[in-house]
Amino acid sequence: MVAGGAGFLGSHLCVRLLEAGNRVVCVDNLQSGSVENVRMLRRFSRFTFLEHDIVEPLPVIGRLDAIYNLACPASPPAYQENPVHTLQTSVNGSLNLLELATKNGSRILQASTSEVYGDPAQHPQCETYNGNVNPIGPRACYDEGKRCAETLFFDFHRTKGTKVKVARIFNTYGPGMRRDDGRVVSNLVVQALRGEDITIYGNGEQTRSFCYVDDMIDGLIKLMNSPRAVTGPINLGNPGEFTIRELADLVLQMTGSKSKITYLPLPVDDPQLRRPDISMANQALAWQPTTELKTGLKNTIAYFSDTLTERKAASVAAV
């Protein structure tokens, strides 16, 4: 089962699992995912889609070997739109999936996040760092929800022997992101391709470490298939660290765009620095990302360029 399988990472994960010969049930409420992803996945005969909100208990589905919980809006504008529901998704949703996994004896993997470290006082971030999250700020519905989900995973593991895995995912990008997703890579690439102003929040000196989607999917599958004793939490991300200004310059250079940069206010509690220490993933999973930012951006720019051209052609045809 892939909960959140109609979203960006979830749809890539479904494709990889289906191509490897698995049967996949995707459970998604389509809040930030897309029907196009579901349509694309329906070409596989072993794929089933269940439109369902994981906040509600799940129907009987049959035997499940593995449950990936990716269900949760991941972009700040998306998760802040209905903060209470975001919190319920991480807390009640994880609880429902943990109960299902425990009843079925399935392995269950939680897509946690670097946001559990908040605006970190330790750099780079390793798994032993307990973080610096503002519990009452606008990002808390996501950060605290994900922290609580981790708590639930380890309580189930300790008290019921549930086979848990927790991945702390750092910023991941690539083809398949929504044009209007609101995260920095999709925003900047789409703005550059359309010749619109590039929006940098704050002075652009804040950093992020960007992981290409294919590398992330490798890491998630490796973690799911790792020995039972490997529970995590385990950082998955690319340690290459860039300021947002550097990212904007690279996007402008690679698209050849004449877009201007415009500076907008920095969102409240926006983390200043972020870079994963991935020694644990390296040792426990023999995993490390292999895609350079330039290579990943090239593919991402080509993807958005194609989808924007198709859209233009469709609207011309409609006229």
Binding site for ligand UDP (CB under 6 A): 75-76, 171, 183-184, 187, 199-201, 206, 208, 244, 267, 270
Q: Minimum CB separation from ligand UDP for residue 191, in Å? A: 8
Using CA atoms, how far residue 146 sits from 8, 95, 143, 210, 301, in Å, is: 18, 12, 5, 20, 30
Q: Which of 68, 79, 142, 173 is catalytic?
A: 142
| From candidates 2, 17, 18, 29, binder to ligand NAD by CB under 6 A | 29
41-77 residues labelled b (16+ CB within 10 A) or e (exposed): beebeebbbeebbbbeebeeeeebebbbbbbbbbbbe
Number of residues located near ligand NAD, criterion CB under 6 A? 29
CB of 25 or CB of 273, closer to ligand UDP: 273
Q: Minimum CB separation from ligand NAD for residue 4, in Å? A: 3
CB of 70 or CB of 297, closer to ligand NAD: 70
Build a one-symbol-per-residue string for 172-211: x at contacts with ligand NAD by CB under 6 A, - elsewhere: x---------------------------------------
Catalytic annotation present for 68:
no
With CB cut-offs between 5 and 8 Å by kind, which of ligand NAD, ligand UDP, none does residue 28 bind?
ligand NAD
Q: Minimum CB separation from ligand NAD for residue 146, in Å? A: 7
Q: Say how far apart CA 71 and CA 124 lie, in whole Å.
A: 27
Q: Does 54 bind ligand NAD (CB under 6 A)?
A: yes
User: Alpha-carbon dihedral of residues 250, 251, 253, 256, nearest 10 degrees?
Assistant: 180
Catalog residues that contact ligand NAD under the rule CB under 6 A: 3-4, 6-10, 28-33, 53-55, 70-74, 78, 89, 93, 111, 113, 169, 171-172
